Chains A and B, each alone.
Chain A
Amino acid sequence: MPTRAFTSGVQTVERALVVDPGQRVPGRAAGFPLRREGPAKLTGAAKYTDDLVFPGAWHGITIRSTEAHAKLVAIELDPDVDWSKVVVATAADIPGDNVVASIKDDQPVLVPVGGVIRHHAEPVALLAAPDKETLRRLKGRIRLVTEPLPPVFDPEQSDHVFAKYEVTTGDLALGFAGADLIVEGTYRVGHQEQLYIENNAMIAVPGDDGGIVIHGSLQCPYYVHKALKRALRLTHVQARVIAEETGGGFGGKEEYPSMIALHASLLALKAKRPVRMIYERHEDISATTKRHPAIVRHRSGVTKDGVLVAQDVEVIMDGGAYCTLSPVVLSRGLLHAGGPYRCPNVRLRACATRTNTPPNGAFRGFGAPQTEFAAEMQLNRIAERLEMSPAELRRRNVYRLNDTTPTGQVLRESVAAEEVLEQALGASHFERIRERTARESAERGGSGTIPPGPLRSGDRRVANGIGLALGWHGAGFTGSGEVYIGSIASVELTADGRIRVLTANTEMGQGTKTVFPQMVAAELGVPSDWVEYAPQDTAEVPDSGPTVASRTVMVVGGLVIRAARRLKAAVEERNPGVPFHEAFRDDAKANGATRIDQKFEAYPGVVFDDATYVGDAYPAYGWAAAVASVEVDLDTAEVTVRDVIAVDDVGKVIHPVLCEGQVEGGTLQAVGYATLEEMKVRDGRYLNDRLATYLIPTAMDAPHIRTILVEAPFSGAPHGAKGVGELPMDVAAPAVIAAIHDATGVWIHDLPATPERILAAMHGDRGAPAA
């Protein structure tokens, strides 16, 4: 692999990303293990939740509110129906607390009679029957009697605040006083649906001990476990959660599965048999969590040389009807809101409020894509006002080693913002292409921008554009999150001589099942396939924390490596002079099993005060740049995203194929966010809640994505990895919007940049070039 060393010691790993026609590349993954569960997935043998058969199982469905805000007066069962043949469950059947355990205890499992319905898809009752036909027939025979209450849909009008933060540094007034130019902007982003292709699915099986076993599509077994214990009043062993093969999550299966598992369990306990709760797409879109919509207001001061001297940012997020993860999503959004730029005088404010729409939750990037879109829009608009190249403006402000962030964090290591920027500029020939597109648009419009209609036709109908964005992503949990949850991961040599990795971190496509054994094998000096990955079953594996925040490889991977090192040392100590790979089988025979539990310990020197928001908000940051090129049809304003060059610093590449896969997938989700994906909401209800109406990119919509991986290792992790899952999601959307501006001369302030919005802007309705 060609490797190039930068002066700062940062490594760039670039490999042939385009298959050379005429040349088969059987060795594409040479030297790295193939996806562990790949053969099962490729032959149809892999079992996802809905593929599992439980004899005698019934099917369950959820009866939901159809109102956004109302008092639940009564639940009426049609007296003409013989209800003894089926099972109905309501809040009255909940043995424990009627809450879905999360950050705040505000969300009920089912709205009780006399309680308040807070969104139109809120679960109120449950119904199980032996067959789906009966369910369909009886669903409408359960009537909810309600008294309407006034709903709130505008997050800025809501008086219920879920979370609020402020970070300040320097003197804002002084900063603006010293600025030569002040630029203001308001940017809006809407809901985005995770749209994993496997819908939510959960099967509850009642146990002999009065407990429940859950088989489900989920990211975080121990989140579900905690929720079951609380609402069903179960002991640690009575609640058992098994993550089955999971067909995508992207954050969407972080916390909502707790709700579905509780529903399936209530029915299963009452029916005394397994109950399958398999969502259809329509229900999955209309009821489950989305990316938080946000309004972001910026006011920035710069000198005429393009040095940022003041940043005032306000972020408002729509939390939806319940708190869920909003405080942490908001916190991450806030901490990334200034972008990866040095600025002495900063005020960042953020607030998330309650509205009567379904709760919003986790989605890849977790608040950062919203605020980083706004930050990059702002930077690009400043560059335009200064008549400076957007690349040059970034060069002048981008974080370098030993710079300080607004929380007072000194970036002591692993800062690769410049590297990713320069790599992206170089690989894309950014400046050269920008000159060309500028020439083309000058020829087209005479002045470098498209004059208000009549629009060009014929040969000059298509305008080309190129756009740049830069981003950062705090690695792992925010603040003291990791210390607080104190994850444990284990490596075990069993009595019969097998090596197993035990964690609760799930495989949903990212490659956990492949890279954990790979990392352990490398430490132990054995082939990868000698190492087993234990199933994500709470009866078997320790709580190594949720599979979120790009923390799996970085945080849990670090624990797994340390555990492997300790195991190796223990075995080699008992067998002096014999290397682990020769010793372990006999050692197991002689000494029985050896299990190493590795608990998380705070990264040295990383300190954050959650109360004041001062200190090291993250142990390290990943850095990303994207350059997008687009074609815009000037008559129809249809956008084709041609290419994206994605440069991502992940600290350490553990598995190049899987790592690129994360960058490519995240990049396309961001392209969808920028151009296509729009949840239309009316009166708190999603109008386009089907796959026919909520569009995601197809292979034909997708750009050619070229990935360049950069390695600026983080010293706190034994392997140096900083995570990759979310990083690409932060940058591609603003890069696409910048490219659309380059092509058309108009800024689209609100995502997505639909043809309607672009046409409106070209006709001067909104987002006209800043005067």
Chain B
Amino acid sequence: MSAYRFLVNGAPAQVDVPGMRRLLDVLRDDLGLTGTKEGCGEGECGACSVLLDGQVVDACLVPVCQVEGRIVRTVEGLSLAARERGSLDTLQEAFLEHGAAQCGICTPGMLMAARAYLDAGGGPDDESIREAIAGNLCRCTGYTKIVDAIVAVATPLE
């Protein structure tokens, strides 16, 4: 056991756990951030996607020792600013409007992958968006409305 310190959604976090404990368990069980989901535990579904220093990672594959001193962002931190106003950010809003979340279990991971894509300057073209979310499985939507929602956000407003 040792202490690991990192930033989660802008706030400092410290946990005393074995270094090989999965970031997913640290987030869900130790920090109570259950927005990040587990679908397979082996890096195949992307339900556990979070941003680590802005990059999408599968939290089920990352041991907490690798997170020391780094910046973690989860679905709960996606709309911190917007949430203070009691609303969703533009990406969440687009998902809601387009019907991109059905059962919602893939949604937090999908949002994080989409966020990373948009933050990296990704545009509204279909192929690139599909590539960006290819690591995130959704069994409900057929992906159509997810892609539509991301296109809507990636399209510059005139």
Contacts and interface: CB of A to CB of B under 8 A. Distances in A.
Contact of B140 (A18, A51, A248): A248
A400 to B, nearest CB: 31
B4 interface: no
Interface in B116-158: 124, 126, 129-131, 133-148, 151-152, 155, 157-158
Most A CB contacts (10 A, CB to CB) among B35, B103, B105, B152 go to B103
Interface residues of B, number: 63
Interface string A434-449: 0000000000000000
B47 to A, nearest CB: 6
Interface stretch (A91-99, A115-123, A194-202, A515-523): A194-202
Contacts of B138: 197, 699
A48 B157 CA distance: 36
B103 A699 contact: no
A247 B88 contact: no
B101 interface: yes
B68 interface: no
A197 B106 contact: yes
A280 B152 contact: no
B47 A197 contact: yes
B47 A43 contact: no
Interface in A15-29: 17-19, 21-26, 28-29
Query: Does more than half of chain B's interface fall in helix, strand or loop, or is it mixed?
Result: loop
Contact of B41 (A53, A281, A511): A281
Given A46-B104, A248-B105, A25 B139 contact: no
B58 to A, nearest CB: 12
Nearest to A247: B105
A42 interface: yes
A698 B134 contact: yes
B96 A661 contact: no
B158 A22 contact: yes
A700 B134 contact: yes
A43 B103 contact: no
Contacts of A696: 137, 139
Given A29-B97, A34-B96, A248-B139, A44 B146 contact: no
A230 interface: no
A17 B151 CA distance: 13
Interface stretch (A161-169, A329-337, A484-492, A664-672): A664-672
Contacts, number: 193
Nearest to B103: A509
A533 interface: no
B139 A250 contact: yes
B157 A509 contact: no
A42 B108 CA distance: 6
B34 interface: yes
B49 interface: no
A704 interface: yes
A17 B126 CA distance: 14
Contacts of B12: none
Contact of B148 (A19, A26, A42, A668): A19
Contact of B142 (A37, A48, A247, A667): A667
Interface string B68-92: 0000001110110001000010001
Contact of A24 (B133, B136, B155): B155
Contacts of B5: none
B97 A665 contact: no
A726 interface: no
Most B CB contacts (10 A, CB to CB) among A28, A38, A46 go to A38
Interface string A290-311: 0000000000000000000000
B39 A25 contact: no
B102 A510 contact: yes
19 contacts: A17-B144, A19-B155, A24-B155, A24-B157, A42-B75, A42-B88, A44-B76, A47-B34, A51-B28, A196-B139, A197-B37, A197-B137, A247-B105, A280-B41, A510-B102, A660-B99, A664-B141, A698-B134, A699-B129
Given A281-B45, A510-B102, 14 more contacts: A17-B144, A18-B148, A19-B98, A29-B99, A38-B95, A42-B75, A196-B105, A199-B38, A247-B37, A248-B139, A699-B131, A704-B144, A705-B142, A705-B144
Q: 6 nearest interchain CB pairs? A: A44-B35, A247-B105, A509-B103, A41-B104, A509-B102, A664-B142
